[in-house]
Structure 1
């Protein structure tokens, strides 16, 4: 597997992965209005690292750099539990020493993953999609 910076020719694959992954990850939300074009809007201004396997996009992480905030971490639904999310986080960790993210409290699979990666809960909040935890991965220095 290779982790690279986003390339323009990857856009169709990233759009499809983002749409399929969100629909699979949030079954309690009404996802009927999600669309392929959401990817560009939702990652605007972010650094996007892409996981490639045999030239297939299998995951990505979107980071809002000024805050070291992980806004997106998605893996192709047919490739979950194969270390892709872990590899993306480790790649980001090489640049960003303290990272933050919000994770919906109902997203138990993601919460287990982030806790296993060393994130700790720094607080709670409520957003348009429900309650969330504010998680932090502290500096490893």
Structure 2
């Protein structure tokens, strides 16, 4: 598996991964409102790393470097449980200064368990009107 910085030629695949992964896993969200454009709208000014194998994109992480913040970490549904998320997370941590933060929707129990298994700590649970989420930190 290769981790590299995304480029504009990768965006069609990244849009599909973002859409499919959210539609398959975000049972708490309105999937009818999700679109391919969400990827572009939700990653403005972010540094994007992707995981690929044999030129197939398996997943990505988008980072907001000024705040040492992991904004998105998504793996194609066909590659869940195969180490893609862990490698993307490790590469993201290497790119930023600690402490590093992220937010995880409180209802996303799989993701919370994944982050905690990688050494992330829950800091505070917040609700800004769009649903509850945990602020998590890695030191």
TM-score by length of 2: 0.95
Q: Distance in 2 between matches of 1:98 and 1:56?
A: 32
* Aligned-residue RMSD, C-alpha: 1.0
| Alignment partner, residue 136 of structure 1 | 137
Q: CA deviation at 1:67?
A: 0.6
Q: Distance in 2 between matches of 1:119 and 1:2?
A: 24
Task: Indicate if the aligned counterparts of 1:68 and 1:99 stay in contact, CA closer than 8 A.
Answer: yes
Query: Which ranges in structure 1 are unaligned for 5 or more consecutive residues?
Result: none
1:103 is the counterpart of 2:104: yes
Q: CA deviation at 1:33?
A: 1.3
Secondary structure of residue in 2 paired with 1:135: strand
Task: Indicate if the aligned counterparts of 1:126 and 1:132 stay in contact, CA closer than 8 A.
Answer: yes
Per-residue Cα deviation, 1:32-59 (whole angstroms, up to 9, x for no partner): 0111111111001100001111101110
The answer to which of 91-100 and 49-58 deviates more is 91-100
| Alignment partner, residue 56 of structure 2 | 56
Query: Which ranges in structure 2 are unaligned for 5 or more consecutive residues?
Result: none
Matches within 5 A, 1:24-103: 24-96=24-96, 97-103=98-104
Q: CA deviation at 1:28?
A: 2.0
Query: Where does structure 1 differ by over 4 angstroms across 4 or more consecutive aligned residues?
Result: none
Q: Distance in 1 between matches of 2:102 and 2:92?
A: 13
Please identify which structure carries the higher helix content.
Answer: 2
Q: CA deviation at 1:128?
A: 4.4
Q: 1:3 to 1:40 in 2, by over 3 A?
A: same
Q: Distance in 2 between matches of 1:66 and 1:128?
A: 25
Per-residue Cα deviation, 1:8-31 (whole angstroms, up to 9, x for no partner): 111110010000011112112111
TM-score by length of 1: 0.94
1:114 is the counterpart of 2:83: no
| Alignment partner, residue 17 of structure 1 | 17
